Structure 1
Amino acid sequence: MATQDDFTVTPHSVDGDVDYEQLLDQFGADEVTADQRGRFPDSGHPLVRRGVFYAHRDLDQFLNAATAGEDHALVTGVGPSGPMHIGHVFPFYFAKYLQETAGTTVYIPLSDDEKYFVKDLSLEDIGGYTRDNLLDILAVGFDPERTRLVVDSADADIIYPLASALSTDITQATVEATYGEPENIGHSFYPAVQATHLLLPQLVEGRQPTLVPIGADQDPHVRVCRDVAGKERYDVEKPGALLSKFLPSLDGPGKMSASDDAPNILLTDDRETIREKILTHAYSGGQSSVDDHREQGGDPEVDVSYLLLYYFFEDDDTEVERLAREYREGSLLSGELKELAAEKIADFFEAHQRRREQLGSLEDELEPYRLTEEERQQALGRVGYPDDSAGVRRF
């Protein structure tokens, strides 16, 4: 939890104009270096090359394993509190990039229980969002041989015993110091569940470097988990983290949320809806009139349309540099930049939507991504549960 006069960053809210250097100092993370960026496979990903992932914890261990072809894993998930939006796209497609280029094993937890603890949503609503989110995750196109999807409520037979074992190493004082006063006892217990998510690849498959790409606001989850992983009785490595800057909401600075009042671009939006949202709501770094813009130019660093292209939707570094230069010079107008961003985003989303439409039933599609019985037993055994090959615990 980081609070300054000008901004506040917690796992549940981000307000104000975030100073990323100050945030880095407060969280005690390290800045990603040029050498580390250069070690990512296949010339790196735009999120890495352009410094969107700007800070880390123990990144070198992950890169060493990835480049040497050794076992390594990545954990990235979602809390299903609404339809997935543009801000959810980045970590999943980043994970797919690493899976395709480095053979990374990807674990994807869906924390439907946590959303019930902290959101004013019914279990029925959360269940519907969970199913919807799962379809969007499956549409990304992960390799089922190297991917495991876990839903807290549906996989409670593995998540709850593991979280119970890990919870003995998390004190209430730690929870309150990290997150503030919990809203309820479910919320208070959730850090143990989150630690289970982040350690699950190692509990299932054995000790290996694990990377967690997250927004900087989620770093407290990693810090608590690293404390747990440091206990000698767990034969695991502390999970590393790759911390990203926040994607702005359409109306300007601040983190994009699925549940706030700012308009969001949803993964289900059609081309015309995306265009309308960008043209109507995307905060502009340009001037108030065409003549003034031609004379004074605009500021791409605060222009949401440009930032969307820079963060993810324009892969060509030369092109994003050209757009920034022409915008500053005034030869590229705000409306033109918005049109370009809307077209690029719509192209990407239409491809995603086509893959989603080609999926069969959720139950059939999800089955290859579920933890196997053997994997569940391996995880339980690593935290001290006896072998359950006879099914004794499943009354």
Structure 2
Amino acid sequence: MPAEDDFTVTPYAVEGDVDYDRLLEQFGADALTDDQRAAFPDPVHPLVRREVFYAGRDVDAFLDAANAGETHSVVTGRGPSGPMHVGHVFPFYFAKYLQDRTGALVYVPVSDDEKYLLKDESVGAISDHARENLLDILAVGFDPERTRIVVDTADADVVYPLAVTFAKDVTQATVNATYGDPVNVGLSFYPAVQAAHLLLPQLVEGRHPTLVPVAVDQDPHVRVCRDVAAKRRYDVDKPGALLSKFLPSLDGPGKMSSSADAPGILLSDDREAVFEKVRTRAYSGGRSSVEAHRRRGGNPDVDVSYLLLYYFFEESDERVERLAREYREGSLLSGELKEIAAETVADFLEAHQERRASLGPLEAELPKFRLAEAERRNARRRAGFPDDSLAQQ
């Protein structure tokens, strides 16, 4: 970011008070229009209609295909660096919404290799995180006939050949300009792996519009991949992007974290843990006393309890508007708003946890979502590997 910016947004670091409009200028993305929001399947998801997903690239092509019943796909992945929190899971629930409403194909890359390169953890620890994360992803309830989950180290027979092919179109200068100086050679190569993730649906199914719903800090991966696709050496379209704001940290508006200094609400948290975190850690937009709050009202725009409801956990627009109005008027107190938010989040987590508990062992559940051998052959062939290549031996 330029020196005058007082925030940093990269795939590996988010710091400061993020100016989302200025990010669009820096990244060259476009704000979603009212017409684009209205073109999402009915009912339009709260994340779209409330402008949490606020910008994108080539969104129209995806929406046109979805509304016409033509082939279209969604790619949204997970880097298994630890337990998942609620900020990690909302893109998966959004992808399920698209799959349910439009029949979208959903591809879920799990980048265990990237997280090993980034984190001071063993391969075994990252693998354990991946197993737990996969169960949470499966608990979302995707259709196995229209969903493929790809784990980089387990699916290296398809990911690596594609990445090597795309790496030829990514220079080190591009990597440095987009990400900064990588801390190791593995991260220099990783943008090519990300390109393999984002182009995989087209390499399996044939050319079609793809949408990547991600938090805005992940947009650099999409930009590099779009540059690769633009080389036209491959029969693919540039992947589109749908960029979201960050679900707020409990410590205040910003990116939710699972680190100790800014705890997130984990998908494994029970009701008691949710209430404790929201009551004691959720930043309040209220006044310093009940009397002052009754007289002057609070600010829901910075109140984390309200933002949790607004961003994802409350379906009803009427209810979130009423809560904001009452909070500004002072008739709704901060403590009362925290109780409402904690109850709503806890209900969501209990339903998620029940679905996860109903799953069988990962070894029994995951095979239904893995690439079939014919799909692997299609991907390698469309990337230029002949049908008799050693990758298939």
Tell me the TM-score normalised to structure 2 length: 0.98
Q: Distance in 2 between matches of 1:2 and 1:309?
A: 34
Aligned to 1:184: 184
Aligned amino acid, residue 183 of structure 2: E
C-alpha contact (below 8 Å) 1:135/1:362 kept by paired residues: yes
Aligned to 2:332: 332
Aligned to 1:266: 266
User: 1:120-135 counterparts in 2 under 5 A?
Assistant: 120-135=120-135
User: 1:313-352 counterparts in 2 under 5 A?
Assistant: 313-352=313-352
Render the CA deviation track for 1:92-138: whole Å, top value 9, x for unaligned: 00000000001110000010000011111111110000000000000
| 1:13 to partner: Cα distance | 1.1
Q: Distance in 2 between matches of 1:276 and 1:67?
A: 43
Aligned to 2:253: 253
After the TM superposition, which of the residue ranges 252-261 and 97-106 deviates more from structure 2?
252-261
The change in CA–CA distance for 1:213 and 1:275 in structure 2 (over 3 A counts) is same
C-alpha contact (below 8 Å) 1:81/1:259 kept by paired residues: no
Aligned to 1:22: 22
Aligned to 1:288: 288
Aligned to 1:111: 111
User: 1:56-71 counterparts in 2 under 5 A?
Assistant: 56-71=56-71
Aligned to 1:217: 217
Render the CA deviation track for 1:357-389: whole Å, top value 9, x for unaligned: 01001011001100000000000001110104x
The change in CA–CA distance for 1:132 and 1:3 in structure 2 (over 3 A counts) is farther
C-alpha contact (below 8 Å) 1:2/1:23 kept by paired residues: no
| 1:2 to partner: Cα distance | 6.5
Render the CA deviation track for 1:128-186: whole Å, top value 9, x for unaligned: 00000000000000000000000001111110111001100000000000000000000
C-alpha contact (below 8 Å) 2:75/2:210 kept by paired residues: yes
Aligned to 2:234: 234
| 1:43 to partner: Cα distance | 2.1
Render the CA deviation track for 1:161-219: whole Å, top value 9, x for unaligned: 11001100000000000000000000110000001000010011000000000111111
Q: Distance in 1 between matches of 2:168 and 2:134?
A: 31
Q: Distance in 2 between matches of 1:3 and 1:374?
A: 50
Aligned amino acid, residue 171 of structure 2: T
C-alpha contact (below 8 Å) 2:76/2:92 kept by paired residues: yes
Q: Distance in 1 between matches of 2:391 and 2:70?
A: 35
The change in CA–CA distance for 1:164 and 1:2 in structure 2 (over 3 A counts) is farther
C-alpha contact (below 8 Å) 1:2/1:9 kept by paired residues: no
Aligned to 1:202: 202
Render the CA deviation track for 1:263-302: whole Å, top value 9, x for unaligned: 1110011001100000000000000110000011000000
Aligned to 2:137: 137
Aligned amino acid, residue 307 of structure 1: L
Query: What percentage of aligned pairs have identical amino acids?
Result: 71
After the TM superposition, which of the residue ranges 294-303 and 258-267 deviates more from structure 2?
258-267
Aligned to 2:244: 244
Superposed CA RMSD: 1.1
C-alpha contact (below 8 Å) 2:32/2:56 kept by paired residues: yes
| 1:26 to partner: Cα distance | 1.1
| 1:259 to partner: Cα distance | 3.7
Q: Distance in 2 between matches of 1:275 and 1:109?
A: 32
| 1:258 to partner: Cα distance | 3.0
After the TM superposition, which of the residue ranges 246-255 and 148-157 deviates more from structure 2?
246-255
User: 1:303-318 counterparts in 2 under 5 A?
Assistant: 303-318=303-318
Equivalent position SS for 2:254: strand
Aligned to 1:77: 77
Q: Number of paired residues? A: 393
Q: Distance in 2 between matches of 1:17 and 1:394?
A: 49
Aligned to 1:86: 86
Aligned to 2:275: 275
Equivalent position SS for 1:254: coil
Equivalent position SS for 2:43: coil
Equivalent position SS for 2:107: strand
Render the CA deviation track for 1:18-66: whole Å, top value 9, x for unaligned: 1111111111111101111111112210000000001110000000000
Aligned to 1:363: 363
5+ long unaligned stretches in structure 2: none
Aligned amino acid, residue 159 of structure 2: I
Tell me the TM-score normalised to structure 1 length: 0.98
Instruction: Write out the 4+ residue segments of structure 1 that deviate beyond 4 Å after TM superposition.
Output: 1-4
Q: Distance in 1 between matches of 2:324 and 2:256?
A: 22
Aligned to 2:302: 302
| 1:250 to partner: Cα distance | 0.3
Q: Does 1:159 align with 2:172?
A: no
